[in-house]
Chain A
Amino acid sequence: MTKGVGHAGQRGAEVRSDCWISVETAATGGLTIELESRVEVLYGASIRQQIAEGLSRLGIDHGRVTVEDKGAYPLVILARLEAAVQRAQGRVKTPLLSAPAERAPDPPRRDRQRRSRLYLPGNEPKFALNAALHHPDGVILDLEDSVHAGEKDAARILVRNLLRSLDFGACERMVRINPSPAGLLDVEAVVPQGVHVLLLPKCESAEQVREIDAKADLVRREAGFEHSVLLMPIVETALGIERAFEIASSCPRVVALTIGLEDYTADIGAARTLEGRESLYARQVVVNAARAAGIQPIDSVFSDVGDAEGLVRSVLEAKSLGFEGKGCIHPRQIRSMHEGFSPRPDELDRARRIVMAFHEAERKGLGVVSLGTKMIDPPVVKRARRVVDLAILDGSLSPHWMESGEAADGS
Chain B
Amino acid sequence: MAPELIENAAGRLVLETINGREAVPYRGVGEFRPSGVKAAPPLRSCADYPDSGDKRAPDLREALERSGIKSGMTIGSHHHFRNGDLVMNQVFDILADRGLRDLRWFPSASFPCHAPMIGHLESGVIHHIEGSMNGPLGDYCSAGKMRGTAVLRSHGGRFQAIQDGEVHVDLAIIAAPTADPFGNCNGVSGPSACGLLGFALADALYADHVIVVTDNLVPFPCIPWQIQGNNVDQVVVLDRIGDPAKIVSGTTELTRSPDRLLIAEQTARFVREAGILREGFSFQAGAGGTSLAFAIYLEQMMKEQGIKARFVRGGSTKYLVRMLEEGLTDYILDGQTFDLDGVRSMRENPRHVNTSPFTSYNYHGKGNFASMIDVVVLGATEVDLDFNANVVTHSDGRLLHGIGGWQNCLFSKCTILPIPSVRDRIPVILDRVTTLCGPGELVDVIVTERGIAINPRRTDLLEAVRGSDLPIRPLADIKAEVDRLCGGAPARPDLGEEVVAAIKWVDGTVIDSVRRVK
Which residues of A does B touch, CB under 8 Å?
16-17, 38-46, 50, 70-74, 99, 102, 126, 129-130, 133-134, 165, 330-332
A155 vs B254: C-alpha distance when bound (angstroms): 32
The smallest beta-carbon distance between A214 and chain B, in angstroms, is 36
B94 within 8 A of A: no
Contact B487 A41 (CB under 8 A): no
Which B residues are CB-close (under 8 A) to A50? 487
Contact A330 B491 (CB under 8 A): no
Which A residues are CB-close (under 8 A) to B395? 41-42
Contact A133 B449 (CB under 8 A): yes
B21 within 8 A of A: no
Contact A71 B424 (CB under 8 A): yes
| Given A71-B424, A74-B487; A41-B262 close (CB under 8 Å) | no
Q: Pick the contact of A45 from B258, B484, B491 — CB < 8 Å?
A: B491
Q: B interface, how many residues as a size bin?
A: 20 to 34
Extra A-B contacts (11), CB below 8 Å, given A46-B491, A134-B258: A38-B424, A41-B493, A42-B490, A43-B486, A43-B491, A46-B487, A46-B488, A71-B423, A71-B424, A73-B425, A332-B258
B426 within 8 A of A: yes
The smallest beta-carbon distance between A54 and chain B, in angstroms, is 12
| Given A130-B259, A330-B258, A332-B258; A43-B450 close (CB under 8 Å) | no
Q: Pick the contact of A133 from B259, B396, B423, B425 — CB < 8 Å?
A: B259
Contact A39 B262 (CB under 8 A): no
The smallest beta-carbon distance between B431 and chain A, in angstroms, is 13
A52 vs B493: C-alpha distance when bound (angstroms): 23
Contact B485 A133 (CB under 8 A): no
Which B residues are CB-close (under 8 A) to A73? 425, 485-487
Which B residues are CB-close (under 8 A) to A41? 395-397, 491, 493
Which A residues are CB-close (under 8 A) to B485? 73, 129, 165
Please name the 10 residue pairs, one residue from A and one from B, whose CB atoms are nearest each other, closest first: A71-B424, A42-B490, A74-B487, A331-B258, A41-B396, A71-B425, A41-B493, A39-B425, A17-B424, A16-B424
Which B residues are CB-close (under 8 A) to A38? 424-425
Contact B491 A133 (CB under 8 A): no
Which B residues are CB-close (under 8 A) to A126? 424
Identify whether the interface residues of A are mostly helix, strand, loop, or mixed.
helix
B261 within 8 A of A: yes
The smallest beta-carbon distance between B472 and chain A, in angstroms, is 15
A165 vs B484: C-alpha distance when bound (angstroms): 10
Contact B487 A39 (CB under 8 A): no
Which B residues are CB-close (under 8 A) to A39? 424-426, 490
Contact A42 B425 (CB under 8 A): yes
Contact B493 A133 (CB under 8 A): no
Which A residues are CB-close (under 8 A) to B424? 16-17, 38-39, 70-71, 126
A-B contact pairs, 16 of them (CB 8 A): A17-B425, A38-B425, A39-B490, A42-B425, A46-B487, A71-B425, A71-B426, A72-B425, A73-B425, A102-B484, A129-B485, A130-B259, A133-B259, A133-B450, A331-B262, A332-B258
Contact B487 A42 (CB under 8 A): no
A99 vs B485: C-alpha distance when bound (angstroms): 9
Which residues of B does A touch, CB under 8 Å?
258-259, 261-262, 395-397, 423-427, 449-450, 484-488, 490-491, 493
| Given A45-B491, A130-B449; A74-B486 close (CB under 8 Å) | yes
Which B residues are CB-close (under 8 A) to A330? 258
Which B residues are CB-close (under 8 A) to A99? 487
Residue of chain B at shortest CB distance from A45: B491
| Given A129-B485, A130-B449, A133-B449; A43-B396 close (CB under 8 Å) | no
Q: Pick the contact of A42 from B262, B426, B484 — CB < 8 Å?
A: B426
Residue of chain B at shortest CB distance from A98: B487
The smallest beta-carbon distance between A318 and chain B, in angstroms, is 22
The smallest beta-carbon distance between B387 and chain A, in angstroms, is 21
A44 vs B425: C-alpha distance when bound (angstroms): 11
Residue of chain B at shortest CB distance from A305: B256
Which B residues are CB-close (under 8 A) to A16? 424
A43 vs B427: C-alpha distance when bound (angstroms): 11
Residue of chain B at shortest CB distance from A76: B425
A41 vs B394: C-alpha distance when bound (angstroms): 11
The smallest beta-carbon distance between B450 and chain A, in angstroms, is 7
Which A residues are CB-close (under 8 A) to B449? 130, 133
A45 vs B491: C-alpha distance when bound (angstroms): 9
Which A residues are CB-close (under 8 A) to B486? 43, 73-74
The smallest beta-carbon distance between A68 and chain B, in angstroms, is 14
Q: Pick the contact of A332 from B261, B423, B490, B491 — CB < 8 Å?
A: B261
A40 vs B394: C-alpha distance when bound (angstroms): 13
| Given A130-B449, A133-B449; A43-B258 close (CB under 8 Å) | no
Residue of chain B at shortest CB distance from A133: B449
Residue of chain A at shortest CB distance from B449: A133
A74 vs B425: C-alpha distance when bound (angstroms): 9
Which A residues are CB-close (under 8 A) to B396? 40-42
Residue of chain A at shortest CB distance from B261: A332
| Given A39-B425, A71-B425; A134-B262 close (CB under 8 Å) | yes
Which B residues are CB-close (under 8 A) to A165? 485
A134 vs B261: C-alpha distance when bound (angstroms): 10
Residue of chain A at shortest CB distance from B396: A41
Which A residues are CB-close (under 8 A) to B262? 133-134, 331
The smallest beta-carbon distance between A140 and chain B, in angstroms, is 16
Which A residues are CB-close (under 8 A) to B487? 43, 46, 50, 73-74, 99
Which A residues are CB-close (under 8 A) to B484? 102
A72 vs B486: C-alpha distance when bound (angstroms): 9
Which A residues are CB-close (under 8 A) to B423? 71
Q: Which one of A42, A70, A99 has the greatest number of beta carbons of chain B within 10 Å?
A: A42
A41 vs B396: C-alpha distance when bound (angstroms): 6
Which A residues are CB-close (under 8 A) to B450? 133
A70 vs B261: C-alpha distance when bound (angstroms): 23
The smallest beta-carbon distance between B468 and chain A, in angstroms, is 16
A297 vs B277: C-alpha distance when bound (angstroms): 42
A191 vs B291: C-alpha distance when bound (angstroms): 41
